[in-house]
Amino acid sequence: MPHDLADKVQKILETIPISFRGPGGAVAVLKDGELVAEKVWGYANLSTRTPITAETLMPICSITKQMTCALLHDLENNTPPEVAANGTFQEQMEIQLKEWLPASLTGSSGLTIRHLCDMQSGLRDYWAVSMICGAKPDQPFTIEGDGMKMISKFKTFHFQPGSEFSYSNVNFFVLARLIERITKQPLPKLLKERIFRPRNMTTAKLIPDTAKHPGDCLGYEGNEEYGFLPATNRIEWSGDAGVTASLNDMIAYEKDFDQRWKSKGQYYKTASATTYKDGNPASYSYGMGHLKIGGDDGVDTVGHAGALRGWRMQRRYVVKERMSVIVLFNSENLNPSKAISLIVKGALDLPEPPSTPAVEPVESWFGDFLDEDTQLNISVSKGDEGQIVVVYARDKENIRLVTPTQAKNDGNVASIEGDTLKIHRVNENRHLVAKRVQPEVLTDGSRLQGSYKCAELESTFVVEGRDNMLYGAFDGPLGQGPANLMKRLGENVWAWNCPRALDHTPPGDWTIVFTEKEGVISGVTIGCWLARRLEFVKV
């Protein structure tokens, strides 16, 4: 490994702590499967002043998904004899999928195991749906009790399998449970024997209970201004997340990953980017996202982020340059994606995109718009010079204007014409056509009070309040949820605030669209980007 590259990368890593201020962190960079540089700093526990080291165990959360897929791949190619006696592993997974999920999801939908691996199933995310099934953000959530209960409620898709992308943890919850059913082995044991041990990940474990993480590292809520507080987690997850690992474990993982990707063997072919059923390219495959760093002329990468209350992490592999970057933060308000982008751009001397003259937006961009198909609200506001800010999938997205009525970034192509907003969500393979929500208000909102029942989820939405100050709460299979504030966007279009969730950052505001027939409120459509179009009838 050239010393100049190692020195250059180490200098970049030395800037990460001050650029991402928080309790602590751990980062590493590998090139051609060999460690180039690493940096650990800060505290695993602020109260005891226990330092973070390369051996400190942290939950890597959704990075687990690619390991679940790697396990599936290994079982398909190295099936235990007692399991192989019943047919190929792939065939058994497809059979179990049809037997395990409700018939309404498997009958004629064409749903396959591969749809689950690629986030193309059309199944709604169970962590999101839990919030409208009566869950409180800090309550326990068990796999055998609550997880199975949630799966049993799912009867419909929010799009047809194979047609789009939508992030859904339930895909990997199902994959893991089917693997356990077929092998008759618990997932932690299978991962240890088939993934961690062969890769020399000596301290990595799958720990389903987030309240029982090994080691002495804490995750933190809060920030430097208001202070850092230890995060409390009480959920169980296994397959969609659950692995705890040290920086050294992740370095070992990256060494193995580099060899598998470099060889272009069976795993590489299986996990490479795929397509939707219409032939359009898909950006998520086999538990990993495929994206560019550095814009259209940047570098192709493959990897995944992970998040839990108090934790943020990400691993990413730069394909052509064979460079791996690992970032682990024990603070939920730090952004590992930005850290990785900074490291990759600096290490590879990626140029900044050429500057172009700023375009002024027309005023018709700004406001709230309701997508006709998903019934989700899209908010558009003015951003930095030459940009608009769109909020659809929880986070703010900056989109650069190319003309006063057209805007584009890596994942969106948007246009405005009068009161109609169109956005092509490129990576999701979805076209949004949204009409402006007229802000005029004719009533005080009191007529919306009452209870609304969702037959599919067996959940009740309770609306109380008046004078345009309404509160919404959900009573359902997971209990009686807290009352949260509602915000009026238009006459019958509201947003239900969801500031906290069971797993980590909440799905964002839910769109609440009340149905009116002959002047009488008869129902409501409720959804967010992770769980769209759930129908509730007034009772």
Site of tokens 């330092």: 51
Cα–Cα distance measured from residue 539 to residue 523, given in angstroms and rounded to the nearest whole number: 9
- DSSP type of residue 194: I
Which segments of 102-233 are extended strands (E)?
205-206, 220-223, 227-230
Q: Which residues are catalytic?
A: 62, 65
CA distances from 239 to 34, 63, 169, 499, 505 (A): 28, 10, 9, 26, 19
Tell me the C-alpha distance between 212 and 220, whole Å.
Answer: 16
Measured CA distances, 171 to 68, 116, 202, 219 (Å): 11, 5, 28, 26
End-to-end CA distance of the chain: 69
Measured CA to CA, the distance from residue 289 to residue 396 in angstroms comes to: 20
* Beta strands per DSSP E along 217-354: 220-223, 227-230, 243-245, 284-285, 288-293, 299-308, 311-318, 323-329
Residue 357: partners with Cβ closer than 8 Å, 6 or more residues away:
386
Residue 12, SS3? helix
Distance, C-alpha 141 to centroid of its chain: 19
Cα pseudo-dihedral 249, 250, 254, 257, rounded to 10: 80
* Cβ within 8 Å of residue 480, ≥6 positions away: 134, 473
